[in-house]
């Protein structure tokens, strides 16, 4: 438990500030509920005085200020704002741009994931009592408003006709106190399904993240994440959709209560009701806030509904200049990347010449066996090459690789894919496809006579542009391709 709490404190941005500000809000809201309860008591005593005919007391009592009611409405909005700001800080860490050094970026992403997934349930822990307190205090404020309005009407009539004034008050209309119950029904049936869905969504994602950390392959982890995303999203949506019938139910409860108030009253009395200006003003406010909510939600809705491009296959970090505009039939798996142009050569981003390439690949192979002594070494590597690189130059590098036991060359073609998301903005990635081949030296290639195997002599082509076209044609025809060096 302690370890879990320490983890939450570590990953949630500004944890103590968040807790302190939300605690202050909670205390403030509790005080507002107490203020409203006190007002209700005062109002009931005023009603008693009016029924007893002490109209001078009634006339002397001023109307209560609107400020506590407004504050009761603002408090959960303010709390949600603080929650959202914390969530945004955690999200910003996940969105650390790729230009940031990889070690710092991965640390940021890890912190951001933990932060995002913890802030959501913690925010819901805060928001639930906050909404309940807001509904209670606003409900009580409306109750007081309804009663005070009735008392004021009676007081005006009392000067000319005291018996008619008493008839207006008539009875206490107990269900007028249930305005708080109406608001609580809206919170309970209209908002809670979404909060419950979000809570489960975050917990399920934490579980999926923990489970996927045991997978060693990046591709497996990616697929596990995609499955978890699809599953948790469906569960979240199905819970959140309950808010529609829930709101309808709360509306039905509210209407039933209003009808009950009217039926309960003796025929001669005035039912507690809202004034037209009050009703119109607050209806407009509700609709205005609803419109703002829809407008803020619009880009998020667009973002959530827009599908992502598929993520199968490998995406390379760099673009190869003058890469042949081809699409290979084979997938590309992670392996050392040899990049060649007529003037430069790089292995995994480091500049190499033929001798250095050989040394580096020897080391890579050696390290592989140190780390995984019981696993076979596939000797696979990726070749990214400019179309204008001469086949002679390419062959000399491939030969060096061949001599270190790297005989499975995946000639790879990149395609830049650009796409834009409504909120997350511009993305670009280098999708890759390949033509898988086996390197052979000239003498070995001569001995091949199988129809499913094609041997291509690399040096028979002037440049990689021509060679690569031939390789792709053969692989597409389903041939096993061997490249003679």
Partner 1 sequence: MTRQLLLIASFSILVLAAGNLLFHYLLFSEQVMRSIMFR
Residues 253-292 within binding reach of partner 1 (CB under 8 A):
254-255, 258-259, 262, 273-276, 278-280, 282-284, 286-287, 289-291
Q: What is the helix (H) or strand (E) element at residue 252, kind and residue range?
A: helix 243-264
User: Of 29 and 386, which has the nearer Cβ to partner 1?
Assistant: 29
- State in angstroms the smallest separation of the CB of 341 from partner 1: 26
User: Of 59 and 240, which has the nearer Cβ to partner 1?
Assistant: 240
User: Residue 227, interface with partner 1 (CB under 8 A)?
Assistant: no
User: Of 257 and 453, which has the nearer Cβ to partner 1?
Assistant: 257
Site for partner 1 in 169-198 (CB under 8 A): 182, 186, 190-191, 193-195, 197-198
Closest CA to 326 of 151, 482, 472: 472
In the chain, DSSP finds a helix count (H) and a strand count (E) of 15, 9
User: Of 20 and 259, which has the nearer Cβ to partner 1?
Assistant: 259
- The values of phi and psi at residue 185, to 5°, are -65, -40
Tally of CB atoms within 10 A around 286 = 10
Instruction: Give the whole-angstrom CA distance, residue 188 versus residue 45.
Output: 31
Residue owning tokens 């990953």:
11
User: Residue 233, interface with partner 1 (CB under 8 A)?
Assistant: yes
User: Residue 416, interface with partner 1 (CB under 8 A)?
Assistant: no
What lies within 8 Å, CB to CB, of 167 at 6+ separation is: 268, 269
Please select the residue that binds partner 1; options are 69, 86, 116, 404, rule is CB under 8 A.
116
- State in angstroms the smallest separation of the CB of 327 from partner 1: 20
Give the pairing type, strands 480-484 and 425-440: parallel
Please select the residue that binds partner 1; options are 19, 37, 109, 152, rule is CB under 8 A.
109
User: Of 45 and 106, which has the nearer Cβ to partner 1?
Assistant: 106
User: Residue 5, interface with partner 1 (CB under 8 A)?
Assistant: no
User: Of 52 and 211, which has the nearer Cβ to partner 1?
Assistant: 211
DSSP secondary structure string for all residues of 459-476: GGSSBHHHHHHHHHHHHH
- State in angstroms the smallest separation of the CB of 441 from partner 1: 40
- State in angstroms the smallest separation of the CB of 135 from partner 1: 11
Dihedral over Cα of 45, 48, 52, 54: its sign: positive
Selected range binding partner 1 among 31-39, 62-70, 226-234, 353-361, rule: CB under 8 A: 226-234
Residue owning tokens 């050094």:
101
Contact present, 127 and 76 (Cβ < 8 Å): yes
- The values of phi and psi at residue 482, to 5°, are -115, 135
User: Of 16 and 276, which has the nearer Cβ to partner 1?
Assistant: 276
């Amino acid at each position: 438990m302690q370890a879990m709490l320490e983890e939450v404190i570590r990953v949630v941005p500004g944890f103590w500030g968040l807790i302190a500000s939300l605690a202050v809000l909670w205390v403030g809201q509790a005080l507002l509920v107490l203020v409203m309860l006190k007002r209700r008591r005062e109002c009931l005593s005023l009603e008693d005085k009016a029924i007893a005919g002490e109209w001078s007391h009634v006339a002397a009592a001023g109307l209560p200020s609107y400020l506590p009611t407004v504050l009761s409405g603002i408090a959960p909005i303010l709390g949600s704002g603080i929650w959202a700001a914390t969530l945004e800080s955690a999200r910003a860490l996940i969105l650390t741009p790729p230009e940031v050094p990889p070690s710092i970026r991965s640390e940021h992403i890890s912190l951001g994931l933990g932060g995002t997934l913890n802030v959501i349930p913690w925010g819901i822990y805060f928001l639930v009592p906050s909404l309940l307190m807001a509904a209670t205090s606003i409900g009580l404020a409306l109750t007081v408003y309804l009663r005070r309005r009735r008392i004021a009407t009676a007081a005006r009539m009392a000067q000319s006709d005291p018996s008619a004034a008493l008839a207006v008050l008539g009875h206490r209309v107990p269900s007028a106190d249930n305005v708080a119950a109406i608001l609580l029904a809206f919170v309970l049936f209209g908002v809670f399904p979404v909060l419950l869905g979000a809570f489960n969504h975050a917990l399920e994602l934490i579980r999926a993240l923990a489970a996927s950390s045991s997978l060693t392959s990046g591709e497996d982890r990616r697929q596990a994440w995609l499955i978890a995303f699809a599953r948790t999203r469906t569960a979240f949506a199905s819970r959140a959709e309950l808010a529609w019938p829930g709101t309808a139910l709360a509306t039905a409860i509210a209407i039933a209560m209003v009808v009950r108030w009217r039926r309960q009253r003796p025929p001669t009395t005035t039912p507690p009701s809202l004034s037209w200006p009050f009703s119109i003003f607050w209806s407009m406010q509700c609709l205005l806030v609803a419109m703002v909510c829809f407008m803020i939600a619009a880009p998020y809705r667009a973002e959530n509904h827009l599908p992502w491009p598929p993520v199968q296959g490998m995406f390379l970090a760099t673009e190869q200049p003058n890469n042949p505009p081809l699409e290979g039939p084979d997938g590309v798996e992670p392996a050392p990347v040899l990049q060649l142009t007529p003037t430069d050569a790089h292995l995994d981003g480091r500049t190499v010449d033929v001798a250095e390439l050989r040394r580096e690949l020897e080391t890579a192979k050696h390290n592989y066996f140190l780390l995984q002594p019981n696993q076979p070494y596939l000797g696979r590597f990726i070749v990214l090459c400019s179309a204008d690189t001469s086949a002679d130059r390419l062959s000399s590098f491939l030969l060096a690789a061949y001599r270190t036991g790297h005989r499975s060359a995946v000639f790879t073609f990149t395609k830049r894919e650009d796409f834009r998301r409504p909120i997350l903005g511009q993305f670009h990635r280098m999708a890759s496809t390949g033509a898988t081949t086996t390197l052979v030296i000239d003498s070995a290639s001569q001995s091949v006579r199988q129809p499913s195997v094609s041997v291509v002599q690399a040096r028979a082509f002037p440049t990689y542009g021509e060679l690569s076209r031939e390789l792709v044609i053969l692989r597409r025809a389903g041939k096993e391709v061997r490249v003679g060096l």
